[in-house]
Amino acid sequence: MSMVQELAEKLADDTLKAMKHLDDDRFFMEVAAELGAASTTLEEAFLTAIRVRLAERKARAFIRARIEGQKKDENFGR
């Protein structure tokens, strides 16, 4: 993993924690804007890391909801 990727991954993790603490699901865009002013390379890597993590969260929520829906269907009529 390159230094840029490592920095972007760590920054993405920290930003997601800050987003939860701040209750601001768009905070990462502000961080990206700050990065872009200094390094577009790091900005792009950061945005990729954020998007991958957010997509993974969304997919996991979908899976959980589908499983819960299946459990409700199985219990229906008992």
pLDDT in tens, 3-31: 999 999 999 999 999 999 999 999 999 99
pLDDT tens column, 28-74: 999 999 999 999 999 999 999 999 999 999 999 999 999 888 877 77
Q: What pLDDT, on a 0 to 100 scale, did the predictor assign at position 58?
A: 96
| Token code pair at residue 48 | 């990729």
Do 15 and 50 form a contact (C-beta atoms < 8 A)?
yes
Rounded CA-CA distance 73/52 in Å is 31
Tally DSSP H helices, then E strands, for the chain: 3, 0
pTM of the model: 0.84
User: What pLDDT is stored for residue 75 in this prediction?
Assistant: 73
